[in-house]
Structure 1
Amino acid sequence: MFKCQRCVNKAVIHVTEILGPGQIEDIHLCENCYKNLLMSQLQEQAPSQASAEQPSAHSKTCPACGLSFQVFRNLGRFGCAQDYEVFEEEITPLLESLHGQVRHVGKSPRRAPLSASQRAELTQLQQQLQKLIREERYEEAARVRDRIRQLEGGS
């Protein structure tokens, strides 16, 4: 567990800054200090952007953290979770180009978990297998073993 590097609270945000070749800095901050850091970065960016950017009716700002899309593009990170909704139109093409889709579907297990009826069948088959082995009925035991492997998802 890390403490915030700016106050005594528990750090909940961990940022790794890549400063250059072989230069990495880890920053551990509480939520409040992170917001303050982000706001100071936003304020540093604002004067340079004001001269470089022409005002646009399409320039959006997050009502929760004050982040503009241009600042997001310069910093490479959002200020809060609400930014995903506020800048949805702008980030959708970016996500499509990076990931090929805009919806995270995650990974699926290689074999699906067994249903209650399959678990019951598996338990019954394992007991039956033990009984067939004790009775030395090996051909039937091999068939039951194969069914167990099939249920377990093995080969």
Structure 2
Amino acid sequence: MTAIESNNYYYVYCPKGIESRYELLVLDHEDMPFLPLTDFYHDCKGRISNSSALSYLQTLLPFFKWLNQYSNYQGSRVQWSDPPEAIRVAIEDYLMNEMSCKVKEKDMFRFVNLTQKSPNTVNRFLSSVKSFYKSMINLRQYPFL
């Protein structure tokens, strides 16, 4: 079994000779299967290249670790399946605290401004999280639009 860790969330490839509907399985901070990211990866593979799907997954792994450890919305940890307002707050906090971005609101929109400290992966993160929620909606695992 090949494991590639990214903080506390990581993925493993299915061993050769084992039959499974998943070629890759994401495990959470407790080493338990985490099907939302697993299903996301396999859903992406049907729409984009394997390398892009893997890149999106690798970009999201630290975010899910951060959700577990540091996210806060009205005094509670944010779960990936929470309503959109909690998810938006968590994403903004992650962008500001972990990716050194500035997030400003103007006319009901939020603008992400890169700073000199911002990594060049901000756009990939935003694309990844948008793709994740589109997949979860399409797979009927996230009930909000």
Normalised TM-score (structure 1): 0.24
Structure with max Cα Rg: 1
Q: With structure 2 as the length reference, what TM-score do the two structures score?
A: 0.25
Task: Select the structure that is richer in strand.
Answer: 2
Higher helix share: 1
Q: Which has the higher contact order (CA 8 A, sep 6+)?
A: 2
